[in-house]
Structure 1
Amino acid sequence: MTVSNQPFAVDPAVQVAGERTANVAILMCTYNGASFLAEQLESLERQTHRNWTLYVSDDGSQDATLDILRSFRERWGSERLQVANGPKRGFVANFLSLICRADIDADFFAWSDQDDIWKADKLQRALAWQQSIPSHTPALYCGRTELIGESGATFGFSPRFSLPPRFSNALVQNIGGGNTMVFNRTARALMLEAGDRVAVPCHDWWAYLLVSGAGGIVHYDPEPMVLYRQHDENLIGGNSGWVARFKRFPLIFQGRFCEWNDQIIPALEAMNHRLSPGHQVTLAQFKTARNQTLFLRISGFLRAGIYRQTLSGNLGLVLVALLKKI
């Protein structure tokens, strides 16, 4: 790896007019990520949008993660890379702690995993859409990913979704991984108000729920901008193909979806004052239907209008509704 001591310089030639001044806070959580961390950091360095700062929250790494971060901080400068200790309560709490840090401020925010690779125009493409949205409107960009193995070889893509990204979809599905998400200050304010102690299954699903529920705008980009590294333990994130769906099937019978909704619903109710009136009704219908008898349960879900993005997903939704596992 070639190390340069030269500071970053903003190159106006690669910036779209009006975007170069937008500051992005990239929020990365690390934990024993030495194997692939340098590749991800180098992909951040190649971003065509250059006005960003990387904030890292490390959850107690015991490998060379901190050494790698230290090396890149010396290479980039402390104004470009800041590292802090994480809360050591799991990855969700770590990401939420970052988004709720009062000392981090920016025009836009982007979550980052420690082992992916970003395409060079990932931030620029996200900001091109973001800056078409009024700043007072919560706005969330997310998208499809290209799947790579531990060797870096591509072996597929995450599903391409085409139905509208709405609250009634968010209640039963997260369409965008946090590693693809870029959101504005107004969306961040919702997460900040909810706090870093909110009990939710995933930080990215929570973002989709909050922004869509509050009447914000969610944009799903079908063009993959992130090379998403899959490991043997990937289960929730690695959702490409029937094999991955089969692996997740036992979760239905284990009641995992019920547990997730048992967390999501109270978290949303605590933010009910931020939900639009129509979405308040949808949440109440969804909550009530979960505990009804079969006929009332199905009719309640229909009134709530919940849906997933694919035919197989909706068939699975019917199954969990029938089994009262939702």
Structure 2
Amino acid sequence: MTETRASSVAILLCTWNGAAFLPAQLASIAAQTWGNWRLLASDDGSTDGTLAQLEAFRAEHGAEKVQLLRGPGKGYAANFMSVLRAAAGQAEYFAFCDQDDVWDADKLQRAIEVLQRWPEKKPALYCGRSRLIDMEGRACGLSMYFGRPPSFRNALVQSLAGANTMVVNAAAMRLLAATPDDQPVVSHDWWAYLLVTGAGGHVYYDQQPSISYRQHGSNVIGAALGWRQRWRRFGQMLGGSYRRWNDINLPALTAMESWLSAESAASLRAYRQLRESGLFGRLVGFYRMHLYRQTRAGDLGFWCAVLLGRL
């Protein structure tokens, strides 16, 4: 299938000591069927061969095709926020990219063809499941299946998909780039989901994977493989992680409240107030808000957090 029009896509790659797996990712980018791409790679202070690999890739494809940036040195989320601000306005679509994955050849094409269904002025986000691989590239399953519809009521309590699956249009990128420079976020994927749904934009969750997501000890955030891992995350949430995430996400959303729809802004204000309410007020208030996570186990974790005041 050929491109329906010559839409440009900026690939936003963040790296840090990724030399062991980066060549496979770069090769999969070069093999994309959607040829009108440009790579912006932001390195966060690598001390291995990562920079040399990026420079070789730039030499092979040209400086007009590959741009190298220096990250802020404040972790993966800050690095992605930095590169997306640098990329804003440079393309019609923007794809987030991790250093150790492998993309299917039609990854960009599938995403852009979905995003082209919606008006350009409306924020839109494509994301989806991942095919999980081990360090040697062997398949080891799929990321968790999420079947409930994407929405701000879900985004307030859960991130939907990994950023490595995400492609957004220019309207969504303008929204993300408007985030104040001094405002931290929990993760750029969750933040994208919150802002796009909060602004009344479109989100498409693809059940068919288009990337191979490598699982290894250096992952900042890995997939929830098996009940042991999911139980560990459940314990982290009730142990205070959920409240810490809210302490970051809610002030960030408040700073962006003028960009939210009236309905989303009202939900945000209600959520902030209910966090500090007594038990009865929390139970009634959150029930009326109809918030939900993507699985029954996730819903159970949310309501345990409500009961225990860990929001």
Normalized against structure 2, the TM-score is what? Answer: 0.97
Partner residue, 1:295:
280
The reply to whether residue 201 of structure 1 matches residue 186 of structure 2 is yes
Q: Which amino acid aligns with 1:207?
A: A
Aligned residue pairs total 311
Partner residue, 1:80:
65
Could you say what secondary structure the match of 1:57 adopts? Answer: strand
The reply to whether residue 251 of structure 1 matches residue 236 of structure 2 is yes
The reply to whether residue 16 of structure 1 matches residue 8 of structure 2 is no
Q: Which amino acid aligns with 2:290?
A: G
Q: Which amino acid aligns with 2:121?
A: H
Measured after TM superposition, the shift of residue 235 of structure 1 is 6.8
Could you say what secondary structure the match of 1:100 adopts? Answer: helix
Stretch of structure 1 that moved more, 139-148 or 301-310: 301-310
Aligned partner (choices 48, 51, 55) of residue 36 of structure 2: 51
Aligned partner (choices 175, 180, 187) of residue 160 of structure 2: 175
Could you say what secondary structure the match of 2:195 adopts? Answer: helix
Measured after TM superposition, the shift of residue 324 of structure 1 is 1.1
Partner residue, 1:281:
266
Determine the C-alpha separation between the residues in 2 that align with 1:162 and 1:253: 24
Q: Which amino acid aligns with 2:2?
A: Q
Determine the C-alpha separation between the residues in 1 that align with 2:4 and 2:173: 24
Distance 1:220 1:164, change over 3 A: same
Distance 1:245 1:135, change over 3 A: same
How many percent identity over aligned positions? 47
Determine the C-alpha separation between the residues in 2 that align with 1:132 and 1:99: 23
Q: Which amino acid aligns with 1:254?
A: G
Matching of residues 215-254 of structure 1 within 5 Å: 215-234=200-219, 236-254=221-239
Matching of residues 1-326 of structure 1 within 5 Å: 14-18=1-5, 21-101=6-86, 105-234=90-219, 236-326=221-311
Determine the C-alpha separation between the residues in 2 that align with 1:132 and 1:169: 23
Determine the C-alpha separation between the residues in 1 that align with 2:123 and 2:207: 21
Q: Which amino acid aligns with 2:296?
A: L
Determine the C-alpha separation between the residues in 2 that align with 1:122 and 1:51: 13
Distance 1:197 1:15, change over 3 A: farther
Distance 1:62 1:235, change over 3 A: closer
CA contact (8 A) 1:96 1:195 kept: no
Q: Which amino acid aligns with 2:164?
A: N
Q: Which amino acid aligns with 1:149?
A: D
Query: Gaps (5+ residues) in structure 2?
Result: none
Determine the C-alpha separation between the residues in 1 that align with 2:267 and 2:220: 29
| Stretches (4+) displaced over 6 A | none
Normalized against structure 1, the TM-score is what? Answer: 0.92
Determine the C-alpha separation between the residues in 2 that align with 1:65 and 1:125: 29
Measured after TM superposition, the shift of residue 17 of structure 1 is 2.2
Distance 1:177 1:240, change over 3 A: same
Q: Which amino acid aligns with 1:289?
A: L
CA contact (8 A) 1:171 1:209 kept: yes
CA contact (8 A) 1:144 1:222 kept: yes
CA contact (8 A) 1:285 1:303 kept: no
Query: Gaps (5+ residues) in structure 1?
Result: 1-13
Measured after TM superposition, the shift of residue 196 of structure 1 is 3.6
Determine the C-alpha separation between the residues in 2 that align with 1:229 and 1:42: 15
Measured after TM superposition, the shift of residue 250 of structure 1 is 2.7
Alpha-carbon RMSD: 1.3
Measured after TM superposition, the shift of residue 104 of structure 1 is 5.7
Measured after TM superposition, the shift of residue 16 of structure 1 is 3.2
Q: Which amino acid aligns with 1:89?
A: K
Distance 1:165 1:311, change over 3 A: same
Q: Which amino acid aligns with 1:66?
A: L
Q: Which amino acid aligns with 1:270?
A: A
